[in-house]
Amino acid sequence: MAYAHLGVEELGGGVTVVTLDRPEVLNAINTQMCRELRAFFGPLAFAPGELRCIVLTGAGGRAFSTGGDLKERRGMSAEAWRAQHAIIEESAYSLIDCQVPLIAAVNGYAYGGGCELALCCDFILAARTARFALPEVTRGIMPGAGGTQNLPRAVGERRAKQIALSGEPFGAEEAARWGMVNEVVEPEALMPRALELARRIALNAPISVRQIKKAMHHGLQTDLRRGLLIEVEAYGRTIDTEDRAEGVNAFNEKRPPSFKGR
């Protein structure tokens, strides 16, 4: 599929890089970009195919994404705004529902919807120069692409309220201290590190990886006892797989496993 504002590069071994590609406007998110995110990620909730790990980043080096394109939104009627926001919601939810592990490589500004897209990923790596913010409150709106839900799950309710109610920007080191960012690296090391992790994940048994992601995602939405039931159900899905037998055989034969996702 050809995309106008999304770069998709398959690197082999099940690893793909998806790039938010509007560098001339710091990868601001317009309606078409959301349609393309929805088109790419939507099917991955049900049919991941040969994909084993995805890295999401921004083009141009200056920004991951500065959020919603307010020039496109200027003069929008309330009805048009609601219709557009439904597309934004669907694009964000498609990232959350993606079965394939998704790493955000934040290489610059991640403001507003850009910050929210990063939070929709499984975890975040950030360049030391990256900056984050949820400034929607300064524009008379609020985060509406998962920010009020994903952020407190990452940094806690009180810190999330401070970030979202003030709109103040913060740096990568602060984001890491607060638990939002997993690792902070020098800008030139960001993509090599993200791809190193992606390839490491891609070498593991795909069904196992997806079941771990599923168990954590759904288990965190409920109490411990129900979470344990979700875990056991997910574990059971791995027992009847060829990959489970391959993993045990490879260990006993002292060789690297070759997982097929079956």
* 72 — pLDDT class (breaks 50, 70, 90): confident
The reply to whether 50 belongs to the active site is no
Question: Are 156 and 48 members of one domain?
Answer: yes
Question: Are 164 and 218 members of one domain?
Answer: no
Tens-place pLDDT, residues 155-212: 999 999 999 999 999 999 999 999 999 999 999 999 999 999 999 999 999 999 999 9
In a domain, 81, yes or no: yes
Among the options 10, 50, 116, 253, which is catalytic?
A: 116
- Give the residue carrying structure tokens 């001339």: 24
Percent of the chain past pLDDT 70, that is, above it, reads 100
Q: What total number of domains does the chain contain?
A: 2
Please give the pLDDT value at position 73: 85
Question: Are 28 and 134 members of one domain?
Answer: yes
Question: Are 152 and 127 members of one domain?
Answer: yes
In a domain, 30, yes or no: yes
Please give the pLDDT value at position 190: 98
Please give the pLDDT value at position 237: 92
Number of Cβ within a 10 Å radius of residue 154: 16
Among the options 36, 50, 136, 242, which is catalytic?
A: 136
The reply to whether 72 belongs to the active site is no
Q: Please say whether the dihedral angle defined by the alpha carbons of residues 112, 113, 114 and 119, taken in this order, is positive or negative.
A: positive
Rounded Cα distance, 40 and 31, in Å: 14
pTM: 0.93
Domain boundaries, position 213: 205-252
Question: Are 90 and 118 members of one domain?
Answer: yes
Chain mean pLDDT for the chain = 95
Residues 7-16, mean pLDDT to the nearest whole number: 95
Question: Are 41 and 98 members of one domain?
Answer: yes
Q: Residue 105 belongs to a domain with what CATH number?
A: 3.90.226.10
In a domain, 106, yes or no: yes
Give the DSSP per-residue string, 128-154: TT-EEE--GGGGT----SSHHHHHHHH
